[in-house]
A = this chain, B = another copy of it.
Amino acid sequence: MVTRKEVAELAKVSEATVSRVFNGLGPMKPATKERVLEAAKVLGYHPNAIAQSFARRRSGNLGVVLPYMPKVHLFSAYYFAEILSGIGEQVREQGYDMLLSLLAPDDDLDYGRLYRSQKVDACVILGARDTEAQRSSLLQLQEQGLPFCLVNQRFEGLSFLEVDADHVEGSYQAVRHLLDEGYRKIAFLNGSPQYSNSMDRLHGYQKATLEAGLPIDLSLQFEGNYSRTSGYEAAAQIWENRDQVEAIFAANDRMAIGLLQGLRERGWIAGRDFAVIGCDDSDAAKLSDPPLSSIKVPFFEMGKQAARAVLATVGGAGEAQLQVKLPTEVKIRQSSKSGVWRVGS
């Protein structure tokens, strides 16, 4: 390995000067600078990142923590791919690298490893749930001063760095849309209440319902676990109450598509016999038949902002805005239109 020392010798300067050249520090004679760069080029010198981290006491890595679930596809790949890409873009702009950490469900408490070992300067945490264990782990992290930012998850009562989407408003608009299409009996298939965004959607749903002068009917609320299968299973329950249901708002696209499939097997076609709107506006929404209306969530941008926010605190810059909430947007497709296929009804 070529070291600074060898470059210094060849360029006939001190090692400190080599460092200065590579870090662009201090005033220096252009001639010196050029000699150093020339020598570095000749020798093929590149600073050793690990030694740099060691000396700077900073790793230059942003940790990205995400739940590890080998065969359990509760989260869609789309969701993580978008957020990861967003983080990746921001990180690259700031000269950082991303250290991925897949957290098994049973070592929830082990956020520690990453920071203790100093392998990362900060973390972005994805797929967190609001449980006692998580709260205490995060509080611990906070006390110990490792900067972290949560994406798409809030913890009521605690003051963490969080980048979220406005799921309340998104859901409100989605249900408004169904109301505007003339539907009145609107069911809601939610995910686990351990996710703050599930609760947010519930609030949006209730707000729109109440505003329309409709009662909150608990028999219209169902719970799945964000998997397609759970949507498929919910279809059976909904079918039981089919005279009570004209439209369904599902808390993500995967469940919505499971729903579509389950009801189709019973002869009910979305966009003809009933309406469905999902959430995430994932690729799957465009792939489904009929194309699925959905709430577009800016996952890419959320990842980007989370990375930016948490890296800002590392730089020691004044605290960034603590809680960010990005807007969502309703995308209408065939699955939630009324009248289109209903010419005869």
Query: Which of B64, B85, B102, B288 contacts A85, CB < 8 Å?
Result: B102
Beta-carbon contact of A49 and B289 below 8 Å = no
Number of copies: 2
- Say which one of A29-37, A116-124, A312-320 lies at the interface with B: A116-124
| A47 proximal to B (CB < 8 A) | yes
Residue numbers in B under 8 Å from A284 (CB-CB) = 283-284, 287
Residue numbers in B under 8 Å from A47 (CB-CB) = 117
| A100 proximal to B (CB < 8 A) | yes
Beta-carbon contact of A92 and B88 below 8 Å = no
Beta-carbon contact of B286 and A289 below 8 Å = no
**Given A48-B117, A98-B99, A289-B288: A283 in contact with B73 (beta carbons within 8 A):** yes
- Chain B residue with Cβ nearest A56: B50
Please, how many residues of chain A have a CB less than 8 angstroms from a CB on the other chain? 48
| A22 proximal to B (CB < 8 A) | no
Residue numbers in B under 8 Å from A81 (CB-CB) = 77, 80-81
- Chain B residue with Cβ nearest A63: B97
What separation, in Å, do the CA atoms of A201 and B263 have in the docked complex? 36
Nearest Cβ on chain B to A112's Cβ, whole angstroms: 8
Residue numbers in B under 8 Å from A100 (CB-CB) = 64, 84, 88, 97-100
Give the residues from 23 to 78 in chain A that come closer than 8 angstroms, CB to CB, to chain B.
46-51, 53-54, 57, 59, 61, 64, 68, 70, 73, 76-78
| A202 proximal to B (CB < 8 A) | no
| A302 proximal to B (CB < 8 A) | no
Beta-carbon contact of A85 and B59 below 8 Å = no
| A257 proximal to B (CB < 8 A) | yes
Nearest Cβ on chain B to A99's Cβ, whole angstroms: 6
| A222 proximal to B (CB < 8 A) | no
Residue numbers in B under 8 Å from A99 (CB-CB) = 61, 97-100
Give the residues from 264 to 306 in chain A that come closer than 8 angstroms, CB to CB, to chain B.
264, 283-284, 286-289, 300
**Given A84-B100, A88-B102, A100-B84: A287 in contact with B286 (beta carbons within 8 A):** no
Q: Provide 27 A-B residue pairs closer than 8 Å at the C-beta atoms, listed in order of the A residue.
A: A48-B117, A48-B118, A49-B119, A50-B54, A50-B59, A50-B119, A53-B53, A54-B54, A64-B100, A68-B85, A68-B89, A70-B89, A73-B283, A77-B77, A77-B78, A81-B81, A85-B102, A88-B102, A89-B102, A97-B99, A97-B119, A98-B99, A99-B100, A228-B287, A257-B287, A284-B284, A284-B287
The 4 closest A-B pairs by CB, nearest first: A49-B117, A77-B81, A289-B289, A77-B77
